[in-house]
Structure 1
Amino acid sequence: MRDRLLAAEKVKAIDWRDDALYLLDQRVLPFEETWHAYTTAAGVAGAIRSMVVRGAPAIGISAAYGIALAARQRIAEGGDWAMALVQDFTVLAESRPTAVNLFWALNRMRDRLARLKGNESPLVALAALEAEAVAIHLSDREANLTMAQLGADLIRKHQGNLQTVLTHCNTGALATGGFGTALGVIRAAHLEGMIERVYADETRPWLQGSRLTAWELANEGIPVTVNADSAAAHLMKTKGITWVIVGADRITANGDVANKIGTYQLAVAAMHHGVRFMVVAPSSTIDMALASGDDIPIEEREGRELLELGGQRVGADVDAFNPVFDVTPADLIDAIVTEKGIVERPDTAKMALLMCRKRLH
């Protein structure tokens, strides 16, 4: 199955080459496929903040490369380059607050820097930091492949063939370093003949579902229908939805999940309609330092994102509340799928056991 998944990899949003980070601009898809090159940490932080790159795993990977770029710049400037990197770590950490993959990747880069003996030449140190960023990228790609297979196996275990699934936001190759998280599971299940149709919430206000998820699925010939976010409960009632499959930006020690705004109401509707609810995310998304979802910082963006469309105002001249994420309680989740394994009906004890495991592959 892994060979089939590798053969199905057709989209990438992150490319590291020629001492620069190239990011596919997700703000202009599907109408334009525009790549931007970044050579500084500040540039990468700006790309994260402005949504050129989005999706928790992709943000973390980009931040890791941002540190490698910063090291190159600081070394060229001379002086105590390692101390100067502290500022770059801060700039990247402040780019977005909710997705824990960002801080996980920065901590890995910080740990790699700390493991340098101090007597290496700057070029050796730079090579070590670049290698760590590449390792973070490749690790996410491998995790995607493992999760895709585990999630497809879980679908088969519970409900067999020909599923009609609902997904929210974009969790595919555009949001990760490889095959995708939730969308990776859907892609794997489609390869095994288990997907009849995917309903993709449009995902207001950035329309990641209608612009990005639908684009990825359509390009692979997977039947997809876009729906308004507010139609989800009606779809569960009338269209035979069997699974809601979503990603995550942070998962706490008790199994609560922060994900794109609108996920919580999907879980409530799924519980009411007897639809199974699956969260797919790498273990780097799990923050065991936070006891529950009440502790997760929820990013709020400018209200104009709700009141404007393509820069043109379409709403009344009023205030707008624009949280980017919400928190789904663990007791509404049927399964969390990671590269370390699957947790069904998550709770604190099960999450702790999961995090003690090594990767399955």
Structure 2
Amino acid sequence: MAGLQAIRYSRGKLEVLDQLRLPHEHHYDEVNTAEEAFDSIKSMRVRGAPAIAIVAALAHAVELHNGACTATAPEDVISHIDARLDYLKGSRPTAVDLSNAIAVLKVAIRAAQIEGLAHPESRDAILNAYFQAAENILEKDLQNNTSIGSHGATWLQQQYNAGPARKISVLTHCNTGSLATSGHGTALGIIRTLHTSGLLEHAYCTETRPYNQGSRLTSFELVFEGIPSTLITDSMAGALFALHRERMNIGAVIVGADRVVRNGDTANKIGTYSLAVLARHHGVKFVVAAPTTSIDLETETGAGIKIEERKKEELTQISGAVVNSDGTVDPSRTARVAIADQTIGVWNPAFDVTPHELIDAIVTEKGTVVKGANGEFDFRQVLPERWTRIVGK
């Protein structure tokens, strides 16, 4: 799995895999400042809601470790950290993991300030509290992903009475594996667990236009892991589902989430909503895999989610490594080509919102949540303290 790590970290040093160069080249960028992290996230050299939060938290840990904060008074240290975290929060507004991680970090440094008020070394206590909290975000994410894989595979096994003689196939969208997390993955983590448990017949992945995370990244991970898999274009999903009963045995669509709001509406990579509609029409289960850090209880419905829009060139141009005449790929030579009239107007939302009505299950590290009698998801069991604090009942 080391070759698939998106993030390599030791205290004082952070390296982030440049995912724009995959699958043809492995190159890690050193990230030493919040500005470098912001650029890495904004340019999508690192992407995936969990990975975004981890890189932001650890990048600031690195610059703090390297002496970026010269303040000595505890309140000034906290003010400095707050300002840097607020700056990083603007790098990707749709993914809630980032804002949740920032909230956790702010709580941790304030707790350290209170505990250290009577001691002259309280500045160091605040910095150490930040380091420990940021590193815990990295460590906990891997644990969460492993649990999500287990819970999701168990739920699907129960739905289809799956076993070695009755395997299921699945479709996934975008990239939700080791490259989007600290390791194992969320939606792709479920697929990994199905595979290792002998329950997976075949995995299909969409190319995920316009940024092609599926064709560039997910297909790479599936091949690397030796999982039987096939790449399709986004527009082929309906045809695949139409054949599933007779030939393909598609049991589920499994996707990740950048934000799940209180009623279960889910923001994820553009094209997810279309897959949910197609899945419902064809009787295919639609499963969202999301750590509880991706759940936003403060936003009641999907109408309150801010959807990021990206530049028009992602639709009108494409770049990649040059293919030689003999079919080999030369990553040292890249080309950018036009694939549309460069004057056409473009609408390019990075995400869409899938209504909770179209989702069958939301798998978290604390268990699988299904809809209640009112047709909505109830997160009180998996997030009791946060639910009481935010919702109050």
Q: Which residue of 2 aligns with 1:280?
A: 289
| Equivalent in 50, 53, 72 of residue 57 of structure 1 | 50
Q: Are the aligned partners of 2:110 and 2:126 in contact in 1 as well (CA < 8 Å)?
A: no
Q: Which residue of 2 aligns with 1:133?
A: 134
Partners of 1:357 and 1:236 lie apart in 2 by: 40
Q: Which residue of 2 aligns with 1:154?
A: 155
Partners of 1:114 and 1:14 lie apart in 2 by: 27
What are structure 2's unaligned runs of at least 5 residues? 320-335, 387-393
1:177-326 equivalent positions in 2, closer than 5 A: 177-238=182-243, 239-310=248-319, 311-316=336-341, 317-326=343-352
Residue 351 of structure 1 pairs with residue 375 of structure 2 = no
Structure 1 position 114, deviation (Å) = 1.0
State which drifts further: 22-31 or 157-166: 157-166
For 2:348, the aligned partner's letter is: N
Partners of 1:63 and 1:308 lie apart in 2 by: 29
Q: Secondary structure of the residue that 1:92 maps to in structure 2?
A: helix
1:320-339 equivalent positions in 2, closer than 5 A: 320-339=346-365
For 2:214, the aligned partner's letter is: G
Residue 98 of structure 1 pairs with residue 124 of structure 2 = no
State which drifts further: 166-175 or 153-162: 153-162
Q: Are the aligned partners of 2:94 and 2:259 in contact in 1 as well (CA < 8 Å)?
A: yes
Structure 1 position 128, deviation (Å) = 2.0
Instruction: Please list the CA deviations of residues 247-288 of structure 1 after superposition, one character each: whole Å capped at 9, or x if unmatched.
Output: 000000001110000000000000000001111010000000
Partners of 1:222 and 1:357 lie apart in 2 by: 39
Q: Are the aligned partners of 1:40 and 1:73 in contact in 2 as well (CA < 8 Å)?
A: no
Q: Secondary structure of the residue that 2:363 maps to in structure 1?
A: strand
1:35-50 equivalent positions in 2, closer than 5 A: 35-50=28-43
Q: Secondary structure of the residue that 2:143 maps to in structure 1?
A: helix
Q: What is the RMSD of the two structures over their aligned residues, measured on CA atoms?
A: 1.8
Structure 1 position 125, deviation (Å) = 2.7
Partners of 1:83 and 1:9 lie apart in 2 by: 37
For 1:88, the aligned partner's letter is: R
Instruction: Please list the CA deviations of residues 215-272 of structure 1 after superposition, one character each: whole Å capped at 9, or x if unmatched.
Output: 1110111011110001011101113321101000000000111000000000000000
Q: Which residue of 2 aligns with 1:5?
A: none
Q: Are the aligned partners of 2:207 and 2:233 in contact in 1 as well (CA < 8 Å)?
A: yes
What are structure 1's unaligned runs of at least 5 residues? 1-7
- Identical residues among aligned pairs (%): 42
For 1:89, the aligned partner's letter is: L
Q: Secondary structure of the residue that 2:45 maps to in structure 1?
A: coil
TM-score, structure 1 normalization: 0.93
Structure 1 position 30, deviation (Å) = 0.4
Instruction: Please list the CA deviations of residues 176-217 of structure 1 after superposition, one character each: whole Å capped at 9, or x if unmatched.
Output: 112100000000000011111111000011111011111111
For 2:362, the aligned partner's letter is: I
Structure 1 position 165, deviation (Å) = 0.7
TM-score, structure 2 normalization: 0.85
State which drifts further: 76-85 or 37-46: 76-85
Partners of 1:108 and 1:42 lie apart in 2 by: 21
For 1:113, the aligned partner's letter is: I
Residues 75 and 321 (structure 1 numbering): CA distance in 2 closer, same or farther, change over 3 Å?
A: closer
Q: Are the aligned partners of 2:176 and 2:256 in contact in 1 as well (CA < 8 Å)?
A: yes
Structure 1 position 10, deviation (Å) = 6.0
Structure 1 position 97, deviation (Å) = 0.7
Residues 319 and 146 (structure 1 numbering): CA distance in 2 closer, same or farther, change over 3 Å?
A: same
Partners of 1:149 and 1:126 lie apart in 2 by: 35
Q: Are the aligned partners of 2:78 and 2:110 in contact in 1 as well (CA < 8 Å)?
A: no
Q: Are the aligned partners of 2:356 and 2:376 in contact in 1 as well (CA < 8 Å)?
A: no
Structure 1 position 9, deviation (Å) = 7.4
| Higher Cα Rg, which structure | 2
Structure 1 position 82, deviation (Å) = 2.9
Residue 31 of structure 1 pairs with residue 24 of structure 2 = yes
Q: Are the aligned partners of 1:165 and 1:241 in contact in 2 as well (CA < 8 Å)?
A: yes
Partners of 1:224 and 1:236 lie apart in 2 by: 16
Q: Are the aligned partners of 2:264 and 2:377 in contact in 1 as well (CA < 8 Å)?
A: no
Structure 1 position 47, deviation (Å) = 0.7
Q: Are the aligned partners of 1:70 and 1:88 in contact in 2 as well (CA < 8 Å)?
A: no
